[in-house]
Chains A and B, each alone.
Chain A
């Protein structure tokens, strides 16, 4: 007799074990990455936490975050007690305990005090470059999304964006160094010898001299802005295009000009998206070291950027410390010892927390925007 049961295959299908093996292998690689990431963060948090936590309220070592960066002096006094003092505290100590002998004195560059200078420097660099990049990037994106048609110009722009996005950051460093540090025009009364071109103005003895901005905040911001311009343009164009065509059509139909349409009906709705994706660009800018190594960053600086300036614009042409460059200095230029650990792991943890917060915020915001904006 015909038995329908026979047609149904029983038990595990052929090759089931192979299938399970492959699947678990793939799952294994995936969770390996997750595991490595978790291990990395745990290690940094465990090692860095003692540097920035304190047993008393508010449980954060504010001094580490707000004190200037100094050299660390380690020594024993005559009683054999070990002291670890930053340079300024050390000179005060020596002044107070005159005539006493200090033993086993050691100094550790960049490891004393806190990291206020690097934090402030990174903030200035980031803000400056993001403002520049947002201004030019969003404008460019508006052209690409709202005005542009197929033309050789647009093709060239798209090609340029694609290529800019792929250039290694160290090449941007070279570019920033040769252009912004050495070649951009400045208005000055005494042009430098290595100026490329001097155009005398007829006002006083001022001249426009193509001699560059030297290593300065300005040069660093400009270099970083060039670097993230493609990211900002791509992200902005995407969010501009996400605004439904109907909005524009409605506005144009009511007699609005193209600019009115963009200003009133497109930009307001795409702005959240633009800002969210620029948060991601911020994390990238804040973390870059290679482009600012020769254009803005300095390993040691006694003053905060705005201290000791004659005019407020002087801040733009002063060098700054930066957190990533500070970490590079701590990791590569000084020997590691138990006394440098606080500075090293502390800086890394603070930096990582900053970057993590930014990227988590941007992830959450992006998810919210996706949920909220359903046209």
Chain B
């Protein structure tokens, strides 16, 4: 369109308006609105940086306190103690898994019988209490009321008996026996039905019988467990002294900050008297530098002691390893035992490295700013609000986000692209008219609704499926947590399928029809045309669809917040496929969960903004790559 300036109108012509005309004003108004998008984007970047960048100096100071107060020194020993505890718990779990695995039938039977009984007591419990209350001694019996109560009790009983859980491991006769016991059970009865008790006894005796051959194993575990007692008590003593030093340091920091605020205020006040007052206050707030040297010196005196304890623990742990059984009969127990054995050399080498670390540690090593950055990006712990020390390491969150994205895309890519190919290439117009609106409609489902479905429906269904005997061959089954990476991944797959579908379908649509015609003219079949001609031609568009789907999955908040299980821990990769059935936390979820609870301006608050910056950069990077592919496709 020709601009005003280019028109061939004489300067003196009366149609030619000079300066700011109404038309110009309108034009500038619209232009400024278009510029608003740039302003918003700049504001987002500026404010994220403004709130986030203060994180690194603040975190550096926290890490410095951590070192000066000696917490870091204690953590060298504590890390080994925790590793020891984990090994003990692994062995214990292996032990009980072995016993329970051997008495699996009895265990399930007892559990199912108890479940029947519990379903009954849960339903009738409140009414039973009422009856017992009104027939207690000292209360006047009211026959009319009691009759109503009894009638209610019968109603509840009928309801309970109609909704009993399934019991695949009990024979029909046994089930009938329990049910008939429940049918005639009086409200006053206190002992469990006979069969429930008998099955529990049966289980206990079977477990005792299977524990017999494992006695040596038990003794080994116990002796291993008691090996760390001395180290544990030494750590306890050191902990007390270092936490008090840390508190003193933190208080001094707070006072110093107050003083700076007062000084700044004093500079802004014009009235000399007022200024004097503020300066005096500031002087009063001047904190005494807390004494860190004396407690540190006494901590350093413990160095030889700590080294000795470590060496002892290393010696006894090395002696334990050959005493462990070679293998266990039950799959789960054997897996746990093997995991423990695999972790053993690592544990031993950590133990033997500890003395060197302990003797070379000094509290005077400076903490550079880069240490805070490295600790944030590669830290394996995200611990906040604890009494010991806060750590902001995003690895557990990033692994959670990535693994959920992996599950989601593994499902969504084949399904989304497959259905795009089908709808675009093979479906009749009528099929298209059904499928397209449905998928568009899935896109319209709010994410919080999907999360709700995940919590109340999908998670429970998955859990029930996973305990079924016929599905035990699936790796990772039975799952322990209802809400886990897999559940979140499935729901996110459902969310990203529409994105991938519609973009991939567009890409297929954009392939010139001449390609298909040429291919068919050469005698290629429909499948050959689709897979050898159309898809390669649309490939970069499809890749862009996948990337945009990935961007959507990584950035999604509500579903993962509700469904991922929110456990801040790097998933245990030694569990094989079971790793996908562990709960986890995510980059987006942590912001949503914690931002509402942190004090404004605190290091934790700023850490959440840095996580936000990271998300922003990652998602924009993914989208930018995707748009590159789109542009290449349209060229």
Contacts and interface: CB of A to CB of B under 8 A. Distances in A.
A230 B418 contact: no
A161 B148 CA distance: 69
Contacts of B619: 166-168, 171
A178 B527 contact: no
A140 B620 contact: no
Interface in B562-592: 562, 588, 591-592
Interface string A314-338: 0000000000110110111000100
Contacts of B131: 80
A310 interface: no
B96 interface: no
Contacts of A171: 44, 48, 555, 612, 615-616, 619
A19 B557 contact: no
Given A44-B453, A351-B449, A363-B437, A157 B38 contact: yes
Interface stretch (B24-32, B69-77, B231-239, B275-283): B24-32
Given A169-B555, A332-B561, A355 B421 contact: no
A160 B40 contact: yes
A173 B595 CA distance: 10
A168 B452 contact: no
B591 A174 contact: yes
Nearest to B125: A104
B416 to A, nearest CB: 8
Contact of A15 (B426, B525, B588): B525
Most A C-beta atoms less than 10 A away, residue of B127, B422, B449:
B449
A284 to B, nearest CB: 8
Interface stretch (B244-252, B438-446, B537-545): B438-446
A139 B30 contact: yes
Interface in B106-148: 126-127, 129-131, 133-134, 145, 148
Given A164-B37, A327-B449, A26 B595 contact: no
Interface string B2-32: 0100000000000000000011001101110
B168 interface: no
A136 B619 CA distance: 25
A86 to B, nearest CB: 20
Interface in A123-139: 136, 139
Contacts of A32: 415
Nearest to B586: A170
Contact of A33 (B1, B439, B525, B627): B439
B51 A178 contact: yes
B36 interface: yes
A348 B449 contact: yes
Contacts of B22: 259
Given A22-B527, A44-B453, A175-B43, A286 B446 contact: yes
A30 B419 contact: yes
Nearest to B626: A166
A87 interface: no
Interface in B419-466: 419, 421-423, 426-427, 434-435, 437-442, 444-449, 451-453, 455-457
A287 B40 contact: no
B385 interface: no
A182 interface: yes
A105 to B, nearest CB: 10
B66 to A, nearest CB: 27
A76 interface: yes
B415 A182 contact: no
Given A163-B623, A283-B444, A29 B415 contact: yes
Contact of B418 (A26, A259, A328, A351): A26
A325 B438 CA distance: 25
Interface residues of B, number: 93
A18 B3 CA distance: 61
B448 A104 contact: no
A201 B556 CA distance: 44
A202 interface: no
Nearest to B434: A34
Contacts of A259: 22-23, 26
B84 to A, nearest CB: 36
B414 interface: yes
A348 B448 CA distance: 9
Contact of A167 (B437, B452, B616): B616
A168 B554 contact: yes
A328 B37 CA distance: 30
A131 B31 CA distance: 19
Given A13-B525, A162-B627, A148 B441 contact: no
Nearest to B621: A166
A359 interface: yes
Most B C-beta atoms less than 10 A away, residue of A13, A33, A82, A164:
A33
B446 A287 contact: yes
Interface in A289-344: 289-290, 293-294, 324-325, 327-328, 330-332, 336, 344
Given A148-B34, A156-B38, A355-B444, A26 B453 contact: no
Contacts of A162: 623, 627
Contacts of B44: 167, 171-172, 175
A174 B133 contact: no
Contacts of A26: 418-419, 421-422, 426
Nearest to B425: A26
Interface string B269-298: 000000000000000000000000000000
B349 interface: no
B526 interface: yes
Contacts of B556: 168
Interface stretch (A35-43, A50-58, A64-72, A265-273): A35-43
Contacts of B127: 76, 80
B30 A143 contact: yes
B442 A37 contact: yes
Nearest to B22: A259
A3 B437 CA distance: 52
Contacts of B26: 258-259
A352 interface: yes
B521 interface: no
A250 to B, nearest CB: 14
Nearest to A193: B261
A258 B22 CA distance: 11
A229 interface: yes
8 contacts: A23-B426, A30-B423, A44-B453, A76-B126, A79-B148, A171-B615, A174-B595, A288-B446
Given A33-B501, A161-B37, A168-B557, 12 more contacts: A26-B421, A31-B435, A33-B442, A136-B33, A163-B623, A167-B616, A173-B591, A194-B600, A230-B37, A332-B455, A356-B441, A363-B437
| CB-CB nearest 5 A-B residue pairs | A168-B555, A287-B446, A139-B33, A143-B30, A30-B419
